[in-house]
Amino acid sequence: MSEISFPYLLNRSNRVALVQGENTHTYSDVNNYINRFATGLLGDRADLQEERVAFFIPASLDYVIAMHGVWRAGGIAVPLNVASAVTELDHYLTCANVTRMVANAEYHDMLRDLCDSLDILLISVEDVLVDKAGNLPDIAAERRAMMLFTSGTTNKPKGVVSTHKTIRAQITTLIDAWAWSEEDVIPLFLPVHHIHGIINILSCGLWAGATVHLFDKFDIPKISEQIVAGTYNVFMAVPTIYVKLIQYFETIDPTEVKTICDGFNKMRLNISGSAACPVKLFNQWRDLTGQVLLERYGMTEIGMGISNPYNGERRAGAVGHPLPGVECQLFDEHNNPINEEASAGEIRIKGDNVFLEYWDNESATQESFKDGWFCTGDVAVVEEGYYRIMGRSSVDIIKSGGYKLSALEIEGVLLTHDNILEVAVIGVEDETWGEAVTAFVAIKDGSSTIEIDTLKEWCDGRMSSYKIPKRLIVLDALPRNAMGKVTKPALKEML
């Protein structure tokens, strides 16, 4: 067993680690808070021994303290989506057997009943900070460190467990591949319950000794102001963010557009990922800013797997080459490796970057690996060494604005609507969101029909807002095949 010395966030004395609004926090301050928080979490224990500590905190100093504090005390960090509906939280907390939940005081009223019902101690960072840091345990790299929830294709989201070794591999690969350094300054406005925000931006930034500017949401005018001021030299986002920036440019004065685009032009790197970047968007961004987007491919279970080169040709519509340390192989439907170019197959991955297990779900873990390869469910071809993602093997996975959504999970909620007899949810191509959640329903006999606006209102509070269908199509009956299964491709064709 190798020990991890926590280079996640070294003490770089007075270098600025985090900026949040008017406040700046040095590496030394942040480390001090983390050690005091970890000591408080431990109380009179020597090691949390993989206790699951959840946190419900947007990107902020408190978030960093909670994440690293749990790690240093030997716990498993379970960052939650602050936009979740209560029923979704119930699932995450129960599934992970969480015992303590760290949340900002403003969320306590909303969370108290749920935490009480699950026997979870609700605390805030200030409650736990002690005056002086004490002894902290040595943690082996193979120990479990983090659990992130991701939509399975077959059921509700599953807890993806990574070890410290996994996380270290995910971070260090990107530090080298994308040339991170102490000089880097990056904005973080993506949610911090997913790899993109947690690993690619926050953890790489802190490991490299760079400065991360924290935003609790994607606030275009505020972020643009800093871009014009030349604050950032690296920018990472999902394709929808680049679309939204271009849409914003259409609403403001052309001279202002030019100053913002000049700000982007001066950066050393703009990255797109989490969903396919259409070639049209790649070209628009290059024409506006002069930046050739670096597109890469990743997944919660593997971190980043494939990336266009930092130096070298970044190809539009392609995700590049496997990253160093990541083994990548395409397989056909008979589990045979595909070695000739231009034949499509499923991407399978091996390497230290791959997660350990789905929490408490041995069968799902076993099903997702074949002969030691993690099966991503994504289909790709290789052309002149460049991987190009062709789609997914499951119609039940939707990617909307970078979020992975399970159609089955949304269908499950919609089926509890009094008027709905049957339902099928699919993702339909959409310029802003990549795919837009679209629900097809048949209404029960004698019930009144439903309009999209009333359905949206009904969904509010029952699911995270980004899962709520953008379109609703009412049919007399859903098309089914001879086996009685709804034929989702037929629904797609209808549109």
Closer to ligand AMP by Cβ: residue 150 or 438:
150
- In the list ligand MCA, ligand AMP, none, the entry touching 441 (Cβ below 5 to 8 angstroms by class) is none
Closer to ligand AMP by Cβ: residue 72 or 399:
399
402 scored as a contact of ligand MCA (CB under 6 A): yes
133 scored as a contact of ligand AMP (CB under 6 A): no
- In the list ligand AMP, ligand MCA, none, the entry touching 469 (Cβ below 5 to 8 angstroms by class) is none
- In the list ligand AMP, ligand MCA, none, the entry touching 320 (Cβ below 5 to 8 angstroms by class) is none
- Per CB under 6 A, the list member of 40, 209, 273, 320 interacting with ligand AMP is 273
Residue by residue, what is the 3-state secondary structure of the chain? CCEECCHHHCCCCCCEEEEECCEEEEHHHHHHHHHHHHHHHHCCCCCCCCCEEEEECCCCHHHHHHHHHHHHCCCEEEECCCCCCHHHHHHHHHHCCCCEEEECHHHHHHHHHHHHHCCCEEECHHHHCCCCCCCCCCEECCCEEEEEEECCCCCCCEEEEEEHHHHHHHHHHHHHHCCCCCCCEEEECCCCCCHHHHHHHHHHHHHHCCEEEECCCCCHHHHHHHHHCCCCCEEEECHHHHHHHHHHHCCCCHHHHHHHHHHHHCCCEEEECCCCCCHHHHHHHHHHHCCCCEEEEEECCCEEEEECCCCCCCCCCCCEEECCCCEEEEECCCCCEECCCCCCEEEEEECCCCCCEECCCHHHHHHHEECCEEEEEEEEEEECCEEEEEEECCCCEEEECCEEEEHHHHHHHHCCCCCEEEEEEEEEEECCCEEEEEEEEEECCCCCCCCHHHHHHHHECCECHHHCCCEEEEECCCCECCCCCECHHHHHHHC
Residues in the chain: 495
Closer to ligand AMP by Cβ: residue 67 or 271:
271
- Per CB under 6 A, the list member of 273, 345, 351, 469 interacting with ligand MCA is 273
The two most distant CA atoms of the chain are separated, in Å, by: 70
353 scored as a contact of ligand MCA (CB under 6 A): no
- Per CB under 6 A, the list member of 62, 88, 184, 378 interacting with ligand AMP is 378
Backbone angles phi, psi at 214, to 5 degrees: -100, 130
Q: Is the alpha carbon torsion for 148, 80, 463, 390 positive or negative?
A: negative
- Per CB under 6 A, the list member of 156, 466, 471, 473 interacting with ligand MCA is 466
Span 222-241, contacts to ligand MCA by CB under 6 A: 238, 240-241
CB of 451 to ligand MCA, least distance (A): 14
What is the size of the binding site for ligand AMP (CB under 6 A)? 18
- In the list ligand AMP, ligand MCA, none, the entry touching 178 (Cβ below 5 to 8 angstroms by class) is none
CB of 193 to ligand MCA, least distance (A): 9
Of 379, 364, 376, 484, nearest to 424 (Cα)? 484
Closer to ligand MCA by Cβ: residue 238 or 347:
238
Of 72, 68, 69, 66, nearest to 80 (Cα)? 66
CB of 13 to ligand MCA, least distance (A): 32
297 scored as a contact of ligand AMP (CB under 6 A): yes
Span 182-241, contacts to ligand AMP by CB under 6 A: 195
Of 99, 80, 237, nearest to 157 (Cα)? 80
CA atoms of 204 and 210, how far apart (whole Å)? 8
- Per CB under 6 A, the list member of 274, 291, 365, 368 interacting with ligand AMP is 274
322 scored as a contact of ligand MCA (CB under 6 A): no
Stretch that binds ligand AMP, among 80-88, 273-281, 358-366, 455-463 (CB under 6 A): 273-281
- In the list ligand AMP, ligand MCA, none, the entry touching 240 (Cβ below 5 to 8 angstroms by class) is ligand MCA
Closer to ligand AMP by Cβ: residue 431 or 451:
431
351 scored as a contact of ligand MCA (CB under 6 A): no
Binding mask 307-346 for ligand AMP (x = CB under 6 A): ------------x---------------------------
194 scored as a contact of ligand MCA (CB under 6 A): yes
CB of 158 to ligand AMP, least distance (A): 10
165 scored as a contact of ligand AMP (CB under 6 A): no
170 scored as a contact of ligand AMP (CB under 6 A): no
Residue closest to ligand AMP, measured at CB: 404
- In the list ligand AMP, ligand MCA, none, the entry touching 276 (Cβ below 5 to 8 angstroms by class) is ligand AMP
Interacting residue ranges for ligand MCA, rule: CB under 6 A: 190-191, 194-197, 217-218, 238, 240-241, 244, 273-274, 298-300, 400-403, 433, 465-466
Q: Which residues bind ligand AMP (CB under 6 A)?
A: 150, 195, 273-276, 295, 297-300, 319, 376, 378, 389, 392, 399, 404
